[in-house]
């Protein structure tokens, strides 16, 4: 009898625990639903017209930021408030677009557990990120894959194909040419683009909150320095995406390195000769008609590790101006600097260096925008919130913790907004930002 009672109490305890977890999760979902009762999706898509982005018939400029971690942090109730906080912070600084990951392949909190198998719990987290962005008036660039291994990356796709015994090669670059892997990726892309957001009822491909899709974060194909393999992949995948979604803008996700088809004067802009042999080819890759705008990254610390601060400043000036000129004169498309940062681990680092670096990029973009040029905006890498020390990669910072950078970001937002709306209207629309 004692054994039976003990068994009964174990069952009762287990049942109570399950009920508590269920009710807690239900409350978590109910809180989200009530949170989004006032959700109103962005009404129109941003478009590209020549060298400019356009919304409601007026130029649209981007002062943006990177927080790649949004989907991951939206999965759990305890970390969800970080998503809300960063969007609120962005809005308070007048920022317009956030770039983040819409992928996590085969790792912790994976969206895609294996080819074609998705974790609905994580998909719902991405739903919430998109809905929360829309609630704050923020648009998103959603990146669909990673060249690097973090969050799975192209290496995870290669591993899946290899384990299934259908992979052509164990090289990570087979991601770009193996038919089976390309089939995996197309299936993934279609699932994401046609996803119906459980919070808003809007399919991703129909949601103007999404500013653009990005094919891959920093694609490289070092096994083919001619650039043909990566070029073929960009052409094929961008055409496939446009066959599903013609509403959204599309970019490659390039770092901006000039490749083998570029003229000598452009190759000399690269931070070193080696950078022309990574399989990427900035001008050629972005000439593709299914690519709507060019992306560029700016990392003088990583690319010019032995250079002093003056050399880095000179490089940044040439790099940014050169790519804007490409947008103006060759591509006839907008150019976004979708990542830029200065590492706090650099020798002799001082916050004043970061301030000068940011200001140099912002000033160049503003001067281009004033002339209706291709320089359409930039995204700082990266912003975090309190309690996210584990995400601190030597580039990350909490805006409020560095008043000079916080003010600079707001100032750039106001300068670009003034070009769009005029000074009088800006003070009304952004009265809490542009005082």
For residue 177, the tally of other CB atoms under 10 A from its CB is 19
Alpha-carbon distance 124 to 71, whole Å?
A: 9
What residues contact 379, with CB distance under 8 A and at least 6 apart?
62, 64, 65, 66, 97, 98, 99, 141, 336, 337, 338, 339, 340
- Identify the CA nearest to 40 among candidates 199, 193, 196, 205: 199
Catalytic residue among 132, 218, 255, 411: 218
Contact by Cβ (8 Å): 367, 74: no
Alpha-carbon distance 213 to 129, whole Å?
A: 15
Catalytic residue among 132, 214, 255, 339: 339
Contact by Cβ (8 Å): 96, 130: no
Contact by Cβ (8 Å): 413, 419: no
Q: Catalytic residue at 339?
A: yes
Q: Residue count of the chain, please give it.
A: 435
What residues contact 284, with CB distance under 8 A and at least 6 apart?
227, 231, 259, 261, 262
Q: Catalytic residue at 132?
A: no
Contact by Cβ (8 Å): 293, 48: yes
For residue 432, the tally of other CB atoms under 10 A from its CB is 9
Alpha-carbon distance 385 to 406, whole Å?
A: 13
384 to 42, 132, 150, 375, 396: CA distances (angstroms): 25, 16, 18, 26, 6
Mind telling me the catalytic residues? 218, 339
């Amino acid at each position: 009898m004692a054994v039976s009672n003990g068994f009964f109490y174990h069952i009762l305890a287990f049942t109570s625990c399950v009920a508590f977890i269920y009710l807690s999760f239900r409350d978590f979902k109910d809180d989200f639903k009530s949170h989004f009762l006032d959700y109103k999706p962005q009404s129109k898509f941003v478009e590209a017209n020549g060298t400019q982005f356009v919304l409601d018939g007026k130029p649209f400029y981007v002062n943006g930021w990177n927080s790649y971690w949004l989907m991951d942090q939206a999965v759990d109730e305890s970390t969800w408030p970080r998503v809300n906080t960063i969007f609120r912070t962005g809005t308070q600084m007048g920022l317009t677009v956030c770039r983040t990951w819409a992928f996590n392949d085969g790792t912790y909190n994976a969206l895609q557990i294996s080819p074609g198998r998705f974790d609905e719990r994580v998909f719902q987290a991405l739903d919430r990120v998109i809905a929360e962005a829309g609630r704050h008036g923020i648009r998103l660039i959603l990146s669909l894959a990673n060249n690097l291994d973090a969050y799975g990356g192209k290496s995870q796709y290669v591993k899946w194909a290899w384990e299934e015994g259908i992979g052509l090669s164990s090289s990570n670059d087979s991601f770009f040419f193996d038919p089976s892997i390309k089939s995996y990726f197309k299936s993934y892309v279609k699932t994401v683009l046609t996803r119906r957001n459980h919070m808003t009822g809007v399919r991703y491909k129909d949601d103007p909150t999404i500013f653009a899709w990005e094919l891959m974060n920093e694609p490289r194909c070092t096994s083919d320095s001619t650039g043909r393999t990566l070029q073929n992949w960009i052409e094929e995948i961008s055409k496939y995406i446009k066959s599903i979604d013609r509403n959204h803008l599309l970019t490659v996700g390039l770092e901006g390195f000039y490749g083998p088809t570029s003229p000598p004067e452009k190759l000399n802009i690269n931070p070193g000769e080696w950078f022309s042999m990574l399989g990427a080819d900035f001008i050629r890759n972005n000439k593709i008609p299914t690519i709507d705008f060019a992306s560029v990254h700016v990392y003088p610390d990583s690319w010019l590790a032995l250079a002093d601060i003056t050399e880095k400043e000179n490089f940044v000036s040439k790099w940014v101006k050169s790519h804007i000129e490409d947008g103006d004169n060759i591509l006839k498309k907008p150019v976004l600097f979708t990542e830029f940062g200065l590492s706090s681990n650099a020798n002799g680092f001082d916050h004043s260096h970061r301030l000068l670096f940011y200001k140099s990029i912002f000033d160049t973009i503003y001067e281009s925008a004033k002339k209706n040029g291709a320089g359409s905006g930039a995204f700082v890498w990266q912003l975090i919130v309190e309690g996210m020390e584990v995400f601190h990669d030597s580039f990350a910072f909490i805006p409020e913790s560095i008043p000079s950078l916080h003010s600079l970001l707001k100032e750039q937002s106001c300068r670009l907004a003034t070009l769009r709306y005029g000074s009088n209207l800006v003070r009304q629309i952004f009265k809490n930002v542009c005082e």
